[in-house]
Amino acid sequence: MNTEGPGTGDAVGGPPHPLVDVERLASVLGAPGIVVLDASVGAHRAVGRRIPGARRFDIDGAMSDGASPLPHTMPQAACFEAEMRAQGVNDTDTVVVYDAAGIYSSARAWWMLRAMGFDRVVVLDGGLPAWEAAGLPVEGRAAGGPCPAGDFTARPRPGMLVGSDALVEALADPCSAVVDARSRDRFAGIAAEPRPGLRGGHMPGALNLPFDAVQRDGRMLARRELRSAFRALAGSRERLVVSCGSGVTACVLALAAECAGYQEVAVYDGSWSEWGRPSDLPVATGPAH
């Protein structure tokens, strides 16, 4: 494992480092027990190509709870299990997740799988852009066909995805830091929220670390740089609760925190889509201090 940066050596095939580079994935692509999942969301789903053999991790669809009024909410364990089996994922497989933006929604898929008790999952550092920049092959989305059903078993882990009550507790806890992955202007309430009806601003006491600030050219920063970025915000606090607009890019911060060596990290699943709705939950505006 490379402790100074992602993607060398042993990220696929054993207890994995959270990231794998494109060269390592290319060397094992198509091998038995290696499953590649495309977790692209929104406009990035329109990209008409994929890594050969990649299957869907549909955060905009089956991999969100359709009964929830909030976007991108974690589905029930039984639904998650059924979808992973339909995608041919087995308990003994190693899963590589990627997206067409770089490191964006793939981190959400990584966190969801781990929250369901599955640890043999890594994120492709740089995603599809890095894969294509390396001259590696792609295929059309329509390529391939159904795969044999897998035996994936969901084993939910409490505390990895939390609600607003846990956020309130974390904001009052001197040992915890709440870190928001949205842009600085959205955090300050200067820029309008992309989802209608939401208040602008942030949770009082929250810190701001935009998700793209933990990356360089679409790849995760080195461990020492990540640790420095979190330390500059959170100081000596070792428990982090991360949030964003709808629970997607918060997971980029969760990924960055794990790469930086943090061991107590939770994702606020409802994120600003829940907190920002008209309610009694408090909202502050202005830049982070």
The CA distance from 63 to 77, in Å, is: 10
Same fold? 19-140, 161-275: yes
- List the one residue out of 117, 107, 114 whose CA is nearest residue 251: 107
List pLDDT tens digits, range 62-81: 999 999 999 999 999 999 99
Q: Which of 79, 147, 244, 251 is catalytic?
A: 244
Q: What is the pLDDT of residues 253-275, one digit of tens each?
A: 999 999 999 999 999 999 999 99
Task: Please give the mean pLDDT across all residues of the chain.
Answer: 92
For residues 43 and 36, give the distance between their C-alpha atoms in angstroms, rounded to a whole number.
Answer: 20
pTM: 0.94
Give the residue extent of every domain in the chain: 19-140, 161-275
CB-based contacts of 280: which residues, under 8 Å, 6+ apart? Answer: none
Tell which CATH classification among 3.40.250.10, 3.40.50.1100, 1.10.246.90, 1.20.950.20 matches the domain 161-275: 3.40.250.10
Supply the angle between the helices 250-260 and 106-115 in degrees, to the nearest 10. Answer: 70
Q: What is the dihedral of CA 5, 9, 14, 20, to 10 degrees?
A: 50
pLDDT bin (cut points 50, 70, 90) of residue 8 is: very low
Task: For the domain made up of 19-140, give the CATH fold.
Answer: Oxidized Rhodanese; domain 1 (3.40.250)
| Residue 2 in this model has a pLDDT that exceeds 50 | no
Q: Would you call 79 a catalytic residue per the annotation?
A: no
pLDDT per position as a tens digit, 144-197: 667 899 999 999 999 999 999 999 999 999 999 999 999 999 999 999 999 999
